[in-house]
Amino acid sequence: MTASKTRGIGFTSQRTRDRMIERLRAQGVQDETVLAAMATVPRHLFVDEALASRAYEDMALPIGFEQTISQPVVVAVMIAALRRGREGKLGKVLEIGTGCGYQAAVLAQVSAEVYSMERISGLLERARANLRELRLRDLRLAYGDGANGLPEAAPFDAIILAASTPEVPAALKAQLAVGGRLIAPLIVKPGSGAANSEQTLYLLERTSTGWSEQWLDAVRFVPLRAGKQ
């Protein structure tokens, strides 16, 4: 890939990215660290070339394998929730559901270390290719069922699920450090097919004495699936 593609022209330019940031602000995202991170990550490099002109619109887009790249505002809200009230970078972060790798790239800007897991090998390879050009140190991709977490790298200061589930997998709770936070789209009402289920962002914090939980916005994510593919 040439430098000009990374830098972008026209719809892939910094100006287009800055307009996305202004929209995020208008939607209530206030975390300047998250906004600055999203202003630097070239989102158009994570979608098919045919969709690149729409990469900065506030919508989820297909990335193949029946999966989607998350909506910008949802990425911003989730990472901001993990950071709220905290100074500096997030420590060691685990993402479940790498997809095209976009959110992992944003996370890498605001974290000391990021591990991202994906169960579809073809997608993981795509993410690897998308991320290669950005040369993010301290971002590692792992192939596997994210419901098991990554015990060899635990405990994590933050865990972020990019796929919906009726309940937080026990292994992930166990791999959360004391003081750590987990955010996930929880299915609060099952529907006929994943698209029709009702989901709400759920923020869980491990305290020195137990757990504290909080319910945030309504969202729509693809389902967390078992096993590898």
Q: Is 108 in the site for ligand SAH (CB under 6 A)?
A: no
Shortest spacing between CB 209 and ligand SAH, in angstroms: 30
Quickly count: other Cβ atoms within 10 Å of residue 36's Cβ. Answer: 12
Binding-site size for ligand SAH (CB under 6 A) equals 24
Query: Please, which of residues 40-69 interact with ligand SAH by CB under 6 A?
Result: 67-69
The single residue of 4, 13, 53, 70 carrying the catalytic annotation is 70
Tokens linked to 225: 């699936």
197 is catalytic: no
Q: Is 118 in the site for ligand SAH (CB under 6 A)?
A: yes
Residue from 99, 149, 155, 185 touching ligand SAH (CB under 6 A): that is 99
Give the strands of the sheet with 198-206, arranged side by side: 139-143, 111-118, 90-96, 156-161, 176-189, 198-206, 211-219
Tokens linked to 198: 């009702």
Binding mask 124-163 vs ligand SAH (x if CB under 6 A, - otherwise)? ---------------------xxx--------------xx
For 90-151, the three-class secondary structure string (H helix, E strand, C coil) is EEEEEEECCCCCHHHHHHHHHEEEEEEEECCHHHHHHHHHHHHCCCCCCEEEEECCHHHCCH
Q: Could you tell me how many helices (H) and strands (E) the chain has, helices first?
A: 7, 9
Nearest to ligand SAH of 172, 204 (CB atom): 172
Task: Give the residue numbers annotated as catalytic, written as ranges.
Answer: 70
Contact set with ligand SAH (CB under 6 A): 67-70, 96-100, 102-103, 117-120, 123, 145-147, 162-163, 222, 224-225
